[in-house]
């Protein structure tokens, strides 16, 4: 079997447990898998950023969010799987910007485990959408690709207007951007707990914009599960 990223041959069967319990084989070789850095230890209660032991329960960014009357209570929490290290930046460029869709399979098990640990079947899965123009440019929606890794249905309850890429904006510019999200038709949102799926949590404004639309439509609460915490 060849590694999905480096294409080197490797033996995907690491233990008898995989054979006995018919566990899915890892699509990455041990070297490539080991270069990713999982988020663990003490986390910010709101955004999931790793914290030093002496820090308070919220990071500096989330303390600022809490002081903002407009945005402070929009999102109940975000949880992410990986740190945005140099290796992850290379993989994201290959997957997201060069269109190698199949790379998403490398994240199936850790992303599903994070969903079960932090959310679960009571939460309705809603991927962050791309605008039609951005979807045409990239060929696929990376958030939807991640959502489809999960063992529960996902719901296309949001649409998005075209705007400049968020990665090109400063924090202040992102905060002052008009909300690009709107409901797709008349989805049955009232009273539901919703988890937004996206690839990267940076400032948190994208998921908060989306959460606000869902809350105004009657959602009980909105959280987010992202692959990466930048």
Tell me what pLDDT residue 167 has. Answer: 63
Distances (CA, A) of 101 to 29, 48, 127, 213, 222: 18, 26, 16, 29, 27
Model confidence at 21: pLDDT above 60: no
The residue ranges of every structural domain in the chain are 1-35, 45-229
Q: The tokens of 18 are what?
A: 């995989």
Q: How far apart are CA 90 and CA 62, in angstroms?
A: 28
Query: Which H/E stretch holds residue 67?
Result: helix 60-67
Tell me what pLDDT residue 34 has. Answer: 97
- On whether the CB atoms of residues 152 and 125 are closer than 8 A, the answer is yes
Q: What is the rounded average pLDDT of the residues 44-54?
A: 90
The model's pTM? 0.92
Q: Which span out of 54-58, 155-159, 167-171 was modeled with the highest average pLDDT?
A: 155-159
Model confidence at 19: pLDDT above 60: no
Instruction: Tell whether domain 45-229 is in CATH 3.40.50.
Output: yes
Tell me what pLDDT residue 58 has. Answer: 93
Percent of the chain with pLDDT over 90: 78
The pLDDT mean for the chain works out to: 91
């Amino acid at each position: 079997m060849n590694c999905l990223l480096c294409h080197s041959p490797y033996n995907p069967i690491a233990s008898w447990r995989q054979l006995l319990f018919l566990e899915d084989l890892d699509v990455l070789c041990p070297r490539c898998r080991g270069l990713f850095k999982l988020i663990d230890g003490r986390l910010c209660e709101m955004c999931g950023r790793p914290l030093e032991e002496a820090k308070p329960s919220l990071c500096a960014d989330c303390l600022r969010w809490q002081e903002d009357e407009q945005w402070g209570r929009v999102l109940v929490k975000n949880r992410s799987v990986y740190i945005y290290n140099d290796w992850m930046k290379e993989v994201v460029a290959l997957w997201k910007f060069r269109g190698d869709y199949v790379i998403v399979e490398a994240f199936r098990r850790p992303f599903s485990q994070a969903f079960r640990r932090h959310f679960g079947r009571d939460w309705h899965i809603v991927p962050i959408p791309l605008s039609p123009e951005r979807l045409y440019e990239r060929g696929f929606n990376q958030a939807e690709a991640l959502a489809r890794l999960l063992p529960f249905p996902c719901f296309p309850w949001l649409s998005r207007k075209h705007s400049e890429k968020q990665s090109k904006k400063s924090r202040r510019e992102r905060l002052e951007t008009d909300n690009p999200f709107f409901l797709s038709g008349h989805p049955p949102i009232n009273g539901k707990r919703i988890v937004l799926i996206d690839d990267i949590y940076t400032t948190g404004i994208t998921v908060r914009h989306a959460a606000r639309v869902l809350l105004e439509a009657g959602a009980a609460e909105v959280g987010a599960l992202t692959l990466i915490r930048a």
